Amino acid sequence: MQRIYLISTGGTIEKVYSEQSGVVENRAAKLERYLRMLRLPDAEIRAEHLMNKDSLEMTDADRVEVRDRVAGLLAEGAPIVISHGTDTMVETGRFLEESFHDLKVPIVLTGAMTPLGFEGSDGLQNLTESLLAARLLAPGVYIVMHGQVFPVSRARKDKDNATFVWA
């Protein structure tokens, strides 16, 4: 069994439509519901919900919280996937890269341009790709989106095309 840790922090991938406010917002975790749709016979996914934020609202303290949780898991020696809003995914990834100099496992950040469950969502694709990439990649911090793998220092969000490109 390959264990993989999955930490969710919010972002578009987990957004829901609010019938009250009429906007799409981060209110509740929904990643685990989608995880159950995947066939992963030799993987043990340990999912945990750390926060539920649009990444534009993430503070330095939030990033320290993410770093501290990652630090607590690194001793387990298993890959870590972090679901995160795409707008500041690179910023958090770089912070993690600066924080951990001798990684023994890959840390993969992923998210979505359209929420899980919405028509045309890229969320399940990105989640699936990230779980596979986390098993294959060398130690380091990466962004995995849309069939692409970027070392975090080489990635940038391309807002016009709603994807990530090489920086």
Task: List interacting residues with ligand GLU (CB under 6 A).
Answer: 11-12, 54-56, 85-88, 111, 113
Taking the least distance from each CB to ligand GLU, the nearer of 13 and 70 is: 13
- Dihedral angle over CA of 15, 134, 66, 56, nearest 10: -40
Taking the least distance from each CB to ligand GLU, the nearer of 112 and 134 is: 112
State the minimum distance, in angstroms, from the CB of residue 149 to ligand GLU. Answer: 18
Taking the least distance from each CB to ligand GLU, the nearer of 105 and 144 is: 144
State the minimum distance, in angstroms, from the CB of residue 75 to ligand GLU. Answer: 29
State the minimum distance, in angstroms, from the CB of residue 86 to ligand GLU. Answer: 3
State the minimum distance, in angstroms, from the CB of residue 66 to ligand GLU. Answer: 13
- Strands of the sheet containing 80-83, edge to edge, are 43-53, 2-10, 80-83, 106-110, 140-145, 148-151
State the minimum distance, in angstroms, from the CB of residue 155 to ligand GLU. Answer: 14
In angstroms, the CA 66 to CA 9 distance is 8
Taking the least distance from each CB to ligand GLU, the nearer of 79 and 85 is: 85
Cα distances from 118 to residues 14, 112, 115, 121, in angstroms, run 10, 11, 6, 5
| Inter-residue contact 51 to 62 (CB < 8 Å) | yes
In angstroms, the CA 50 to CA 62 distance is 10
Taking the least distance from each CB to ligand GLU, the nearer of 46 and 159 is: 159
